[in-house]
Amino acid sequence: MAEVVKSAKSRSKNARRVTNFIARNYLNLFSAGLLLTALFYFVQVQQLRVATLSNNPELFADGDVAVVTRVIDGDEVRIHNSRGSTLVRILGIKSFDATERDLMLAEYGKVAVDYLEAEAVGKEVMVKLSEKKVDDEGRLLATLFMGSQHDQDVAESMLANGVTLVFTKYSFPAMDEYLKIQDVAKSEKRGLWQNQRVTARSESMLNLWNQERRDR
């Protein structure tokens, strides 16, 4: 009987040790979990890039209708038409990277990816090319329009919901309109604008991009 009591006390003591360890290291364990999540998305993005090496921007013209087949990142998708497929860098926006070292920013990068996957994959889009048709990485630079009349700007929708930022480093025709939409999302604290630290980081990035644009 004494041995049973002793064993029970030992198990109880060990359980308390485990509980205390978890309590003391909760933040570290939580951070480790977020880090593993970010690593998972980094591997996913790299696998998607490898799986989509074929890139033929020359097969697409202004006004073409295509289907979004994959989301590569929060501002990059793959589209396909009868002639082939290509990567599109959505003009005028910049989303946080889902593989950011800052785990909170990475989480908002994942939100942008999830948004595009839910709203765009499998849908028809009309492609409006920018003056510079292809970016430095060989991706098509374009605005994408969804809806039955192809009149719903994907980037505008993302900005209105606070899941991305206006990429002001380079001028583009719709920049003033995009900034107005972003200001509304910010004032109503939608999406990333409801988090003070992410808002501060976003404002810092916007200021940097504005300065870089002015310096050119």
The answer to pTM > 0.85 is no
Of 99-113, 138-152, 190-204, the one with minimum mean pLDDT is 99-113
Give the pLDDT band (50/70/90) at residue 160: very high
Amino acid symbol at 12: S
| DSSP code at position 170 | S
Q: Cα–Cα distance between 59 and 81 in angstroms, integer?
A: 9
Of 48-62, 153-167, 171-185, the one with minimum mean pLDDT is 48-62
Q: Which neighbouring-strand residues pair with 66?
A: 125
| DSSP code at position 53 | -
The radius of gyration of the chain's CA atoms, rounded to the nearest angstrom, is 23
| DSSP code at position 42 | H
Greater model confidence, 98 or 181: 181
* pLDDT confidence of residue 54: 73
* pLDDT confidence of residue 196: 96
Residue 144 pLDDT more than 70?
Answer: yes
Q: Cα–Cα distance between 138 and 89 in angstroms, integer?
A: 9
> Does residue 91 sit in helix, strand or coil?
coil
Q: Cα–Cα distance between 3 and 102 in angstroms, integer?
A: 51
Tokens found for residue 73: 């990142």
Please state the domain count of the chain: 1
> Does residue 83 sit in helix, strand or coil?
coil
Residue 130 pLDDT more than 60?
Answer: yes
Enclosing domain of residue 55: 2-215
| Residues 39 and 47: beta-carbon distance below 8 Å | no
Please state, for a pLDDT cut of 70, what percent of the chain lies above it. 75
CATH code where residue 10 lies: 2.40.50.90
> Does residue 132 sit in helix, strand or coil?
strand
Closest Cα to residue 155, out of 88, 55, 66, 212?
88
Convert the pLDDT of each residue in 75-91 to its tens digit: 999 999 999 999 999 99
Residue 18 pLDDT more than 60?
Answer: no
